[in-house]
Amino acid sequence: MKKNTIVSFISNNLVPLMFVLICSVAIPLSGFSFSYLLAEIVTRIARNSFLILSLLIPIMAGMGLNFGMTLGAMAGEIGLILVSDWQIWGIPGMILAMIISVPISILLGTISGKIMNLAKGREMITGYIMNYFINGIYQLIVLYAMGVVIPIVHSSILLPRGYGIRNTVSLLAMRQSLDNLLAIRIGTVKIPLFTFIVIALLCLFILWFRKTKLGQDMRAVGQDMEVARASGINVEKTRIISIVISTVLAGFGMIIYLQNMGNLSTYTAHSQIGMFCIAALLVGGASVDKATIGNVFLGVTLFHILFIVAPSAGTKLMGNSMIGEYFRVFVSYAVITFALIMYETKKRKALREVGRSLGLSQTRLSQSKQA
């Protein structure tokens, strides 16, 4: 019995356990002190958690690990570009960028939700490809419309040709403005208290939201769409709402993320972030149909430990930091693949079990009829 419990625990948490194992080998190899690692992890949890939390609501609605959040990230970036040009600094700049991002996120979220409703069960790949399509429109706007149709005044963000935005937009005027608000320092570790308060509020919102009528509807849709439809839930509308909430939150998350970084990679930041957030969530033990707040924090911690220690461990082990970096990239993508394969295997196994038990009950029924 005890052995079975251990085996089921290991099989249910194989991905986080693998990461714990890899980290426990890589940390001593890297030679980093505990305080340094802690300081880095705290910074990165504050930077990334909001973004990853934005993925939870669509998962609750059964839309899986879709890349709809990338669209929200694009909306957040557009807000930041405009705010940078208008020279709105600090926290007011962040709030204004968030306000600007909301209607764009709602529009993109609605489009995304409608497309995903046409491709039920294949949301992940649909979302991933849809990002390329929306990314093209984003590039058209940022590269050609900004400076021509959308007025951009400052040459510091405008390409020398007079229109289009530079590869990198400096956000120095709002760099860590949220993180420095109420920041406390314990030894060498800086704790961005206000950012953590914002993250905690989002966690509370998610917990509260699960208990609301809409949250319950989303859970019902996530469990079985046909049963939910039969019980009077507008499945399509509920799914669209979940994606819209996710994109809006992702827009906010991207702004929080970029204020910490202090600069914006105009054309690549959003596409990298989608893959990164999904990988971090999977590392935390989430699956395509189930993710919790705990998975977010465990995932971001484990994933980032590997981010920090891999290059240094690679240098110590092989004399080349790039080996560690390649290893980290390989592991990151391998984890996504592995987690998806495991999910599919478990789903098929469960279906087989259902089929087997159905077959057994039918056999018993026919035997009792014959008797």
Q: Would you tell me which residues interact with another protein (CB under 8 A)?
A: 86-93, 95-96, 99-100, 102, 135, 139, 143, 154-155, 159-161, 164, 166-167, 173, 261, 265-268, 271-273, 276, 307, 311, 325, 329, 332
Amino acid at 101: S
Q: Which of 262, 276, 236, 237 is nearest to 70 (CA)?
A: 276
* Nearest to another protein of 60, 296 (CB atom): 296
Q: How many CB atoms lie within 10 A of CB 69?
A: 32
Dig out the tokens for 309 from the structure: 């220690």
* Nearest to another protein of 90, 110 (CB atom): 90
* Nearest to another protein of 35, 155 (CB atom): 155
* Nearest to another protein of 86, 209 (CB atom): 86
* Nearest to another protein of 89, 209 (CB atom): 89
- Tell me how far, at minimum, the Cβ of 67 lies from another protein, in Å: 11
- Tell me how far, at minimum, the Cβ of 310 lies from another protein, in Å: 9
- Tell me how far, at minimum, the Cβ of 274 lies from another protein, in Å: 9
DSSP secondary structure letters along 148-217: TTB----TTTB-TTSSSB-SEEE-GGGTTTTTTTT-EEETTEEE-HHHHHHHHHHHHHHHHHHHSHHHHH
- Tell me how far, at minimum, the Cβ of 265 lies from another protein, in Å: 7
* Nearest to another protein of 95, 141 (CB atom): 95
Dig out the tokens for 197 from the structure: 């308060």
- Rounded distance between C-alpha atoms, residue 327 and residue 307, angstroms: 10
- Tell me how far, at minimum, the Cβ of 100 lies from another protein, in Å: 8
Backbone angles phi, psi at 120, to 5 degrees: -60, 135
- Rounded distance between C-alpha atoms, residue 151 and residue 163, angstroms: 9
- Tell me how far, at minimum, the Cβ of 14 lies from another protein, in Å: 24
Q: How many CB atoms lie within 10 A of CB 186?
A: 11
Q: Which of 111, 110, 118, 86 is nearest to 100 (CA)?
A: 86
- Tell me how far, at minimum, the Cβ of 341 lies from another protein, in Å: 21
Q: How many CB atoms lie within 10 A of CB 124?
A: 18
* Nearest to another protein of 56, 83 (CB atom): 83
- Rounded distance between C-alpha atoms, residue 81 and residue 85, angstroms: 6
